[in-house]
């Protein structure tokens, strides 16, 4: 039984903790920063975000203007990561942008009902190169061959697949093996194998199709209703798709053998329009959720997923730079463009989970308290995931907050979410 003094100390501690919680809750920063695009930027649905491979400060954003009609939109350009923007035009709905890997001044864009566009001066001016063989088509996606950028591939919403071998001057249909009604739902649906540019994958409403002869012919790999497809930049055998097998199933699938076999991964109740793999760590994957919304992150190659914010927004597109791999951009359907910095250190720890069992409970609180009083807990170090109030220290305050969380109290900290502080002052008993 507690003595009077012990009870008083406990109550005083709880008062101090609650005071700290209330004070800190008023100063919690949003991890995402809103980037303006231009006049009334929040009414732009952001279909594609492209980062210049030679200059990560330069971005190109393709949009659809929600208030100006279904065929209107912009290409917004920034050369300073979003501090200032220029607009190329306002009368073309832009679905997809491709940048020349050998000359970043050369850009191509797929515009809804406006054809294939080209710029040779970094987006300052554009010309229409192709609108379709039988008249204006609804172009969804365009990609450039990374090793031979005079080769371009484009697809339309209705299912036609096109190829150009002379920088978009001439185009041929390449539909052999594709189903005639292979409708394309989103603009993130063509992948070129980075280890062999003769191999391509395309995602359609009738599944993933693969070509090993630069789109001369196609073979069907699965029958999922594909929304988007991406390839692991570090392993071309690994593919991820977001799917919507109407009417009941949606989620993600994965192949580890270049599309021969597929498995369902992660949650099955999300609808994602884009997916990408971290360029330096294949364990880490991001997905753009339209329903229920937000940006999702997996730290285990897609097995489990955690939201990292923007949960109330429909996210259409994501981008991450090869030379700045800890800066993530997210384009929404209604609310504009956002950016956040992902910590370099312990990127995928779970806040509060110091013992690494993926559950935050009294065991973690005990370890944090043991660390604070100087006991040897080196087996659980580094302890930065224990800094749940993000004050730079792991101590008894954090332990009591974790205990409060464990017993069901509402605490204004993102305990249990992915991402741990990287600025922690090691507590007693923990080495660097």
Residue 130 CA to residue 117 CA, distance in Å, equals 7
Q: Would the CA dihedral through 71, 126, 230, 202 be positive or negative?
A: positive
Residue 25 is predicted with a pLDDT of 32
- Return the CATH class of domain 4-29+348-406: mainly alpha
Give DSSP secondary structure letters for 269-304. Answer: S-EEEEEEE-SS-TT-EEEEEEETTEEEEESSTTSS
- Alpha carbon distances (Å) from 419 to 95, 353, 407, 422, 428: 32, 11, 22, 9, 23
pLDDT at 182: 67
Q: How many residues does the chain have?
A: 432
Is the pLDDT assigned to residue 131 strictly greater than 80?
Answer: yes
Q: 146 in helix, strand or coil?
A: coil
- CA–CA–CA angle 168, 178, 221 (5° rounding): 115
**In this predicted structure, what is the pLDDT of residue 132?**
86
Rounded distance, CA 143 to CA 188, Å? 10
pLDDT, position 207:
92
Where do the CATH 2.130.10.10 domains begin and end in the chain?
A: 33-341
289: closest CA among 320, 310, 303, 304? 310
pLDDT value of position 128: 94
Q: Could you report the per-residue pLDDT of 162-185, keeping only the tens digit for each?
A: 999 999 999 999 999 998 676 666
Residue 104 and residue 53 in contact, taking contact as beta carbons nearer than 8 Å? yes
Task: Please indicate whether residue 361 or residue 335 has the higher confidence score (pLDDT).
Answer: 361
Which residues lie closer than 8 Å to 311 by C-beta, 6 or more apart? Answer: 292, 293, 294
Cα dist from 147 to 106, 192, 211, whole Å: 15, 10, 17
- Residue 80 is predicted with a pLDDT of 93
Among the residue ranges 84-98, 126-140, 239-253, 395-409, the one predicted with the least confidence is 239-253
Q: What is the pLDDT of residue 358?
A: 79
The fold for domain 33-341 equals Methylamine Dehydrogenase; Chain H (2.130.10)
| Contacts for 18 with CB less than 8 Å, ≥ 6 apart | none
Complete DSSP assignment for 167-223: TTSS-EE--TTS-TT----SS--EEE-TT-TT-EEEEETTEEEEESSTTSS-EE---
- Please, are residues 250 and 265 in contact by the beta-carbon 8 Å criterion? no
Distance CA(110)–CA(156), nearest Å, equals 9
Each residue's pLDDT tens digit, 40-61: 666 889 999 999 999 999 999 9
Contact 215, 174 (CB under 8 A): yes
> Within the chain, which residue ranges are assigned CATH 1.10.1330.10?
4-29+348-406
Question: What are the tokens at 132?
Answer: 């379709």
Tokens 């999922």 correspond to: 224
Residue 199 has pLDDT above 90, yes or no: yes
Q: Which range is least confidently modeled, 24-28, 70-74, 136-140, 230-234?
A: 24-28
Across the range 301-317, mean pLDDT stands at: 87
- Arithmetic mean of pLDDT, 426-431: 59
With H, G, I as helix, E, B as strand and everything else as coil, classify residue 10: helix
Return mean pLDDT, the chain. Answer: 85
């Amino acid at each position: 039984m507690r003595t009077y003094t012990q009870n008083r100390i406990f109550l005083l501690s709880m008062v101090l903790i609650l005071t700290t919680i209330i004070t800190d809750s008023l100063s919690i920063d949003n991890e995402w920063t809103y980037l303006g695009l231009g006049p009334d930027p929040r009414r732009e649905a952001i279909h594609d975000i492209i980062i210049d491979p030679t200059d990560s400060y330069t971005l190109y954003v393709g949009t659809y203007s929600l208030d100006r009609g279904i065929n209107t939109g912009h290409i917004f350009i920034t050369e300073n990561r979003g501090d200032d923007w220029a607009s190329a035009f306002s009368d073309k709905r832009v679905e997809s942008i491709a940048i020349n890997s050998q000359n970043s001044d050369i850009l191509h864009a797929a515009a809804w009902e406006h054809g294939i566009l080209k710029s040779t001066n970094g987006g300052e001016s554009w010309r229409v190169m192709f609108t379709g063989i039988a008249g204006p088509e609804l172009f969804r996606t365009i990609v450039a061959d990374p090793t031979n950028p005079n080769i371009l591939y484009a697809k339309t919403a209705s299912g036609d697949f096109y190829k150009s071998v002379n920088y978009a001057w001439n185009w041929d249909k390449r539909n052999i093996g594709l189903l005639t009604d292979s409708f394309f739902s989103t603009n993130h649906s063509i992948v070129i194998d980075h280890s062999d540019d003769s191999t391509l994958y395309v995602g359609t409403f009738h599944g993933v199709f693969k070509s090993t002869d630069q789109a001369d012919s196609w073979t069907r790999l699965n029958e999922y209703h594909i929304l988007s497809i991406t390839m692991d930049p570090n392993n071309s055998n690994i593919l991820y798709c977001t799917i919507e097998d109407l009417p009941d199933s949606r989620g993600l699938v994965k192949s580890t053998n270049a599309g021969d076999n597929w498995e369902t991964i992660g949650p099955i109740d999300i609808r994602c329009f884009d997916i990408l793999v971290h360029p330096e760590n294949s364990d880490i994957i991001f997905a753009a959720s339209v329903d229920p919304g937000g940006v999702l992150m997996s730290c285990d190659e897609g097995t489990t997923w955690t939201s990292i914010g923007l949960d109330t927004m429909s996210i259409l597109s994501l981008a991450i730079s090869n030379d700045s791999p800890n800066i993530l951009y997210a384009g929404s359907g209604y609310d504009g463009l956002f950016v956040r910095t992902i910590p370099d250190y312990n990127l995928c720890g779970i806040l509060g989970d110091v013992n690494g069992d993926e559950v935050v409970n009294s065991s973690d609180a005990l370890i944090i308290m043991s660390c604070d009083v100087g006991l040897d807990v080196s087996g659980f170090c580094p302890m930065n995931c224990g800094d749940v109030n993000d004050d730079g220290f792991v101590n008894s305050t954090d332990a009591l907050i974790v205990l409060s969380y464990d017993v069901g109290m509402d605490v204004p900290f993102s305990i249990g979410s992915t991402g741990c502080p990287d600025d922690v002052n090691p507590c007693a008993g923990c080495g660097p």
